Amino acid sequence: MRNSKIPKLTIVGAGPGDAELITLKAIKALENADVVLYDALVNEELLQYAVKAEIVFVGKRLGCHAYTQDQINELIVSMANRFGHVVRLKGGDPFVFGRGSEEIEYVEKFGVETAVVPGISSALGVPASVGISLTQRQVAESFWVITGTTSNHELSKDVYLASKSAATVVILMGMHKLEEIISIYKENRTDDLPIAIIQNGTKNTEQKVVGTIRSITKLVAENKISSPAIIVIGEVVKNTSKLTSYFQEHFEDEFIFQNLNLE
Ligand SMILES: C[S@@+](CC[C@H](N)C(=O)[O-])C[C@H]1O[C@@H](n2cnc3c(N)ncnc32)[C@H](O)[C@@H]1O
């Protein structure tokens, strides 16, 4: 029997990890979904809201993509035509390095109706959850959000530009390029610049290290920090009460604590 529902795609941001950091509008979209296609960074607890939907994992696990982007695009169109309302659930915000706009562009060519539900991006939500204020009066007037790895698998050139400014810099997908990032900062700025790296931010598996441009590579290796993680660089990192206590707890007798002149 042919589906009588109007084919529709809603691209939904699931937030940075903690299931409670999704929006009410996103939950309503999940409740209303006939199909949910979700990515690897999505907290699977959220799938409980998709009470009547067919649920398909389309993300990347152990380095392997379950589906290519072209296959996902085609799947959205065929599922929407067959079942009606497809929710594409993505980590963070779907328009921050999330390919949400590409999926919309593709399906609209096939007459599929579209809507977007924004989410809290890890770029904003993860620093905030550990107490880092990306802007701060007298300290940082702006912030950059940059990808560490472009579609050519290279470090974004914007990291060079950003490292010359006093802005706070937030780098996503940058862990494989950490050494390159550090050497750019060593060239353009001071070794004492604070930096925080947070893996699995807002989840119960969260891990973080805080140091300086000089100390961070060692701290990352010692604490076995890896992807998915965000890198936050700038003076704002040291002005965070939560991280100050983190410094005291973990590194009291270490050089990074002295470098930052924390009281
Ligand atoms: C493909 S991007 C997607 C970003 C997503 N659209 C957003 O707005 O957060 C994936 C990268 O986001 C960052 N990321 C996403 N969730 C994270 C989390 N909970 N903790 C730390 N980094 C996270 C990591 O840098 C990861 O490699």
Is 43 contained in some domain? yes
Is 256 contained in some domain? no
Q: Looking at the structure, do residues 99 and 148 belong to the same domain, yes or no?
A: no
The count of structural domains within the chain is 2
pLDDT digits 0-9 by tens, 152-206: 999 999 999 999 999 999 999 999 999 999 999 999 999 999 999 999 999 999 9
23 backbone dihedrals φ, ψ, rounded to 5°: -90, 160
**Catalytic (active site) residue 39:** yes
> What confidence score (pLDDT) does residue 247 get?
56
Q: Which of these, 67, 72, 124, lies nearest to 95 by C-alpha position?
A: 124
Is 14 contained in some domain? yes
Catalytic one of 52, 60, 157, 242: 60
Q: Burial code of 133-146, b = ≥16 C-beta within 10 A, e = fewer? A: bbeeeeebeebbbb
> What confidence score (pLDDT) does residue 260 get?
43
Domain boundary among 55, 87, 117: 117
pLDDT digits 0-9 by tens, 20-37: 999 999 999 999 999 999
**Catalytic (active site) residue 28:** no
Q: What is the CATH number of the domain that holds 164?
A: 3.30.950.10
Q: Which residues pair with 170 in a beta bridge?
A: 145, 232
Q: Looking at the structure, do residues 22 and 97 belong to the same domain, yes or no?
A: yes
Catalytic one of 79, 93, 173, 208: 173
Q: Looking at the structure, do residues 146 and 177 belong to the same domain, yes or no?
A: yes
Res. 48 pLDDT band, cuts 50 70 90: very high
Domain boundary among 99, 117, 135: 117
Q: Which residues line ligand 1 (CB under 6 A)?
A: 16-17, 41, 90-93, 96-98, 121-123, 126, 172-173, 198-203, 227-230
What's the average model confidence in pLDDT over 243-248?
A: 57
For atom 12 of ligand 1, the residue with the nearest CA is 172
Does the pLDDT at position 259 exceed 60?
no
Domain boundary among 93, 117, 141: 117
Is 56 contained in some domain? yes
What's the average model confidence in pLDDT over 97-111?
A: 96
Please report, rounded to a whole number, the percentage of residues in the chain having pLDDT higher than 70. Answer: 90
Which domain does 158 fall in, by range?
122-250
Is 260 contained in some domain? no
Q: Which residues pair with 210 in a beta bridge?
A: 196
